[in-house]
Amino acid sequence: MRPKLLKSALGWLVVFVFFFPVLWMWLEALKTEPQAASSPPTIFFAPTLEEFQTVLSGDFPPYFINSAIASILSTFLVVALGLPAAYALAIRPVKRSRDVLFFFISTRFLPFAASLVPLYLLARDLHLLDNIFALALIYTTINLPLGVWLLRSFLLEIPHDLFEAARVDGAQFRHEILRIVVPLIAPGIAATSLICLIFSWNEFFYAVNFTSSEAATAPLFLVSFISGRGLFYAKLAAAATLASLPVLLAGWIAQKQLIRGLTMGAVK
Amino acid sequence: MATTAIGLIVALAGAACSGAGGGGGGGSSKTITIAAVDNPQMADLKNLVSDFQSKHSDITVKIVTLPEDQLRQQVTQDVAANSGRYDLFTIGTYEVPLWAKKGWIENLSPYIAKDSSYDANDLIPGIRGALSYQNNLYAVPFYGESSMLMYRKDMLSAKGITLPDHPTWDQVAAAAKAVNTSSVSGICLRGLPGWGEQLAPLDTVVNTYGGRWFDEKWNAQLNQPEFKAAVNFYINLIKTAGEPGAGNAGFTECLNAYNNGKVAMWYDATVAASNFTGDAAKNSGYAFAPHVVKDWSGWLWAWALGMPSSSKKKDAAWNFADWATNKDYIKLVGQKLGWAHVPPGTRTSTYSIPEYQQAAGAFAQVTVDSIAHADVTKPTVQPVPYVGVQYVDIDEFQQLGDQVSQEFAKVIAGGQTVDQAIAKAQSLATAVGKKYQT
Amino acid sequence: MRATAASALGREAWARRLPLLPAFVYVFLVTQIPFVLTIYYSFFSWNLLKPGSFRFAGLENYGSIFTSESIRIAVWNTVLLTISVIGISVVLGLGVAMILNSEVFGKGLMRTLMIAPFLIMPTAGALIWKDTLLNPLFGLLPYLLSPFGLGRVDWVNQYPMVTVVTVEVWRWTPFMMLIILAGLQSQNPEVLEAARVDGANAIQSFRRITLPLVRPFIELGALLGSLFVVQTFDSIFMLTFGGPGEDTTNIPFLLYLVAFQGFSIGEASAIGVVAVIITTIVATLALRTLFSIFQIEARR
């Protein structure tokens, strides 16, 4: 019993340290501005949702909506393009499928430095800078390799016989996909979508360089706090809380899929 | 060929998506997008936009406010790419002549000529000159500023210190050290890297010490004794009596600190005084930019609305620029938000409004006199080949200034000595100067 | 007859390939062709602020890259940042994972709270650290440390790299913890029990049984993590903006400065090429590990 208590205490201490900044963010968000910018810091206070209201009734919603468009659209594209490709690599492998797989995954780790300048110039010349759909296409590029890889690993788990049976039945390829594959790998699609959503929701580099106003996403709203605007800590914390909320909740709810996705399917 | 192929795909996808997305734009109403610097005057303007929209119901205004550094980067990117993302932006005296020369911004004189109510002759001449290129106005001032010293009279007099109207930097340093305690710092001086942040006040110190960036033949002069002495002075003052976290302190951070009584003095833009609240508003004294050798060493800056040549809604954009910078706007701010909120330094007539005189009396005269005495063509003691008081009006200065100020920030943080920073800065400036030596 | 068979085979091959094509073509177009263009631009001198400045420059950009101190500093900062973040977060992650793998109270809640830093938007996390925790005037940490005489330490500026590493470790430890925990949970408790019966003490059983077992998972976490940490941009942008001086400018940030502050397309492209070479070396190692884990599956 003693070691369990001791270990628990140590564990909770570590967890507290790591979780504290998040907690502090929430606390700051529930303060009024003078409380948030007081010195010494205010620890006990009557919580208020005032700053959340300020943020939500102010400039923030368009940024949030842009983030949602870019993330959801790119995730949809990743699944739509990635599922057939994963199928071709897993169930009825094409020749040199290992090389193709390697190619896909290597592009995920190509630094953005590799293609940044030409993509920027292209977007500029096509007047696609500050266009949320162009940003969604870039996010698709970032996430597609990961999507293919992950979906493939899920497809590999489906018993091969099922597909054979379907083919003997004379089921057409398209039906094969729709009727058999999709329901079976629904959990896999969910995990893949979660990872894509996380990466595109939190993405900053392309957002800051390819958008400015119309298509600006949630992280960019936070950038405007770098060089302040008066007493702003409570508002900043409220905005940061709201901006982080979707991914935090999604990640908490789907912890198992998270691990699988983060390790690219290597850890189940 | 390859580029075209991707281009096509991306364009098609983009078009398809935007078609599907729908909702955006269309109709007869126009939306103009304005990129504006994030400061209290702009916040006031945002609060008053409904007045503009009640007069121009066909124009929808979208204002994007960004911190100065990000704004400059975005706007430069936009205008250099000719992408037409913005219809108006706030630019400074630094950008206007440079960009006018390249044809990136629209000559506003024809618009003004058509607009009898605008009264361009009412704009303060110095500011007007700084925003002109070949005698045409290329941007209209939203506010103008010089720099001055602001101090808490109550805190200084508690130590028996009074300051003259034209203090020397030695007097200021002595006062700062005298009032500096563990809870209240002596003086707030910008340390935040960026040519528009830290370098603005620092350059005026360099000027009054007699230093300069380049000699007439574009040889970098940063390693000269005057320049070095000024940098040493500035950084030592920050270290001995400056605000904590100086490396992150820009205009807004200093304003916060001053308003909260965390610093006793502050050398910064004259515009700052219109944002004082509480004790800061009640007990502040104002003095002209402190000097050493050169008198009248305040800077000269204006935030002005410029119109990129790439804008496709120029008439609507001008309507807005007109609304935001004419005499009526000044009255609107005064009546709706209070006379202390009026953006200063743009129009001579502002200073004859009785209500404004009453509200801003303490700093109004310092502001006008400082602006009047700042000369962008003669910033320092010796002659220079460039224009600009607290900047050098060449393309390369943004990057050069940012890099040099990063080196000074490193000195403030204790990461290197002034001599090491100056040596790096000198070599950076030499490389830039070479491009102008023919 | 044979022709028909061949064409049927061909059709079959195409039927197999077809589902692959859209994704393949898309990825190829959006990553490979721009990279070729990056190489192309790297041989030109072109500043976007100077219309008409486009001219062939040969190896000039590479020359200036290899002689400039900035890139050396950026490479060093990238290496320093990556190694310290990965090293520290692996050790911490291993520790936390071992606690969570043993009998403790509130295991599920602990894990849930622990992964929060990884899920928080990096820009938001960095901002919270900088403005509410570390700010020398209003922050919590300087206040808590003031009894020790550290009340006025300006962490972000005086210890910029330490600050960036801290924030990144905060973010990546949960990642490492998750992966290592999954490894630990795949360990058969009976083996440990057997070891204990064998007379092995805690340290011995850790070194002999646990560590070899979670080693592939540690390697996986470290390699995947380093591929992301090499690209760190968000927190540097928010915390230090690469400064003071160039103390926290890594390769991605230098690229940002050159491309989007200096608008030097040619030089930025050359930095891009160099970055690709460096990353390829790291990535090849990472992928080899990844493939070795997948080996059994890939044979299927």
Interface A–B counts its CB contacts (< 8 A) at 86
CB-CB under 8 Å, A69 with B21: yes
Q: Is the pLDDT reported for residue A219 higher than 70?
A: yes
pLDDT band at C143 (very low <50, low <70, confident <90, very high): confident
Of C31, C103, C170, the CB nearest to A115: C31
Calculate mean pLDDT across residues A102-127.
81
Based on its alpha-carbon atoms, the radius of gyration of chain A, rounded to whole angstroms, reads 23
Mean pLDDT (chain B) is 87
Give pLDDT, residue B18: 38
Give pLDDT, residue B202: 96
Q: Does C50 touch chain B (CB under 8 A)?
A: yes
Give pLDDT, residue C103: 82
Q: Is the pLDDT reported for residue A229 higher than 70?
A: no
Distance (Å, whole) CA B385 – CA B235? 27
Which position has the higher pLDDT, C128 or A180?
C128
**Which chains border C (3 or more CB–CB pairs < 8 Å)?**
A, B
Cα-to-chain-centroid distance, residue B25: 33
Residue (of A255, B159, A245, B193) closest to C244 by Cα position: B193
Residues 6 or more apart in contact with residue C198 via CB below 8 angstroms = none
Q: Which one-letter amino acid corresponds to residue C8?
A: A
Q: Does C23 touch chain B (CB under 8 A)?
A: no
Give pLDDT, residue B6: 42
Exposure string for B198-213, b = 16+ CB within 10 A, e = fewer: bbbbbbbbbbbbbbbb
Distance (Å, whole) CA B325 – CA B322? 5
SS3 C159: coil
Q: What are the beta bridge partners of residue B143?
A: B303
Q: Is the pLDDT reported for residue C296 higher than 50?
A: no
- Using CB atoms within 10 Å of the CB of residue C160, give its burial: 0 to 12 exposed, 13 to 18 middle, 19+ buried: buried
- pLDDT tens digits, residue range A186-200? 888 888 999 899 999
Q: Is the pLDDT reported for residue B16 higher than 70?
A: no
The ranges assigned to domains in chain A are 60-221+235-262
Give pLDDT, residue C156: 87
Distance (Å, whole) CA C51 – CA B351? 42
Distance (Å, whole) CA B113 – CA B128? 15
CB-CB neighbours of B386 under 10 Å: 18
Distance (Å, whole) CA B213 – CA A265? 58
Q: What are the beta bridge partners of residue B90?
A: B305
Give pLDDT, residue A16: 94
The tokens describing B130, both together, are: 């700084």
User: Positive or negative, the Cα torsion across C156, C160, C166, C172?
Assistant: positive
pLDDT band at B5 (very low <50, low <70, confident <90, very high): very low
pLDDT band at B12 (very low <50, low <70, confident <90, very high): very low
Give pLDDT, residue A1: 58
Q: Does B219 touch chain C (CB under 8 A)?
A: no
CB-CB under 8 Å, A136 with B10: no
CB-CB under 8 Å, A106 with C175: no
Best mutation site among B8, B60, B68, B83 for testing chain A: the one with the most A CBs within 10 Å? B83
- pLDDT tens digits, residue range B164-218? 999 999 999 999 999 999 889 999 999 988 888 899 999 999 999 999 999 999 9
Lowest mean pLDDT among B164-168, B430-434, C2-6, C252-256: C2-6
Give pLDDT, residue A126: 84
Q: Is the pLDDT reported for residue A3 higher than 70?
A: yes
Of A124, A126, A212, the CB nearest to B10: A126
Helices and strands per DSSP (H, E), number in chain C = 17, 2
CA–CA min distance C160, chain A (Å):
16
CB-CB under 8 Å, B18 with A212: no
**Which chains border B (3 or more CB–CB pairs < 8 Å)?**
A, C
Residue (of C188, C120, B43, B86) closest to A228 by Cα position: B43
Catalogue all structural domains in chain B, each as residue range(s) with its CATH number.
30-145+301-352 (3.40.190.10), 147-299+377-434 (3.40.190.10)
Residues 6 or more apart in contact with residue B86 via CB below 8 angstroms = A213, B33, B34, B35, B64, B75, B78, B308, B311
Give pLDDT, residue A227: 56
Cβ contacts of C286 on chain A, cutoff 8 Å: 109
Lowest mean pLDDT among A264-268, B314-318, B388-392: A264-268
Of A11, A19, A41, the CB nearest to C99: A11
Lowest mean pLDDT among A39-53, A74-88, A105-119, B103-117: A105-119
Give me the phi and psi of A254, to 5 degrees please. Answer: -110, 55
Calculate mean pLDDT across residues A66-75.
95
Give pLDDT, residue B14: 41
Is the whole-model pTM more than 0.90? no
Best mutation site among A35, A210, A213 for testing chain B: the one with the most B CBs within 10 Å? A213
Residue recorded with tokens 């797989």: A101
pLDDT band at C4 (very low <50, low <70, confident <90, very high): low
Give pLDDT, residue B141: 94
CA–CA min distance C137, chain B (Å):
7
Of A14, A106, A209, the CB nearest to C283: A106
Give pLDDT, residue C300: 40
Q: Which CATH architecture has domain A60-221+235-262?
A: Orthogonal Bundle (1.10)
CA–CA min distance A129, chain B (Å):
8
- pLDDT tens digits, residue range B234-274? 999 999 999 988 888 888 889 888 988 889 999 999 888 87
Give pLDDT, residue C20: 83
The tokens describing B35, both together, are: 């990129």
Of A109, A140, A247, the CB nearest to C121: A247
- pLDDT tens digits, residue range B128-137? 888 988 889 9
- pLDDT tens digits, residue range B274-315? 778 888 888 999 999 999 999 899 999 999 999 999 888 999
- pLDDT tens digits, residue range B225-241? 999 999 999 999 999 99
CB-CB under 8 Å, C33 with B3: yes
Best mutation site among B1, B78, B248, B309 for testing chain C: the one with the most C CBs within 10 Å? B248
- pLDDT tens digits, residue range C174-218? 999 999 998 888 777 777 677 666 766 777 777 777 788 888 888
CB-CB under 8 Å, C127 with A225: yes
Cβ contacts of B410 on chain C, cutoff 8 Å: 243-245, 247
- pLDDT tens digits, residue range B323-374? 999 999 999 999 999 887 888 888 988 988 988 888 877 788 888 888 888 8
Q: What is the DSSP string of B253-286?
A: HHHHHHHTTSEEEEEEEGGGGGG--HHHHHSEEE
CB-CB under 8 Å, A230 with B10: no
Best mutation site among A120, A210, A212 for testing chain B: the one with the most B CBs within 10 Å? A212
Residue B37's alpha-carbon distances to B75, B326, B367, in angstroms, are 10, 19, 21
Does a cis peptide bond (omega within 30 degrees of 0) precede residue C244? yes
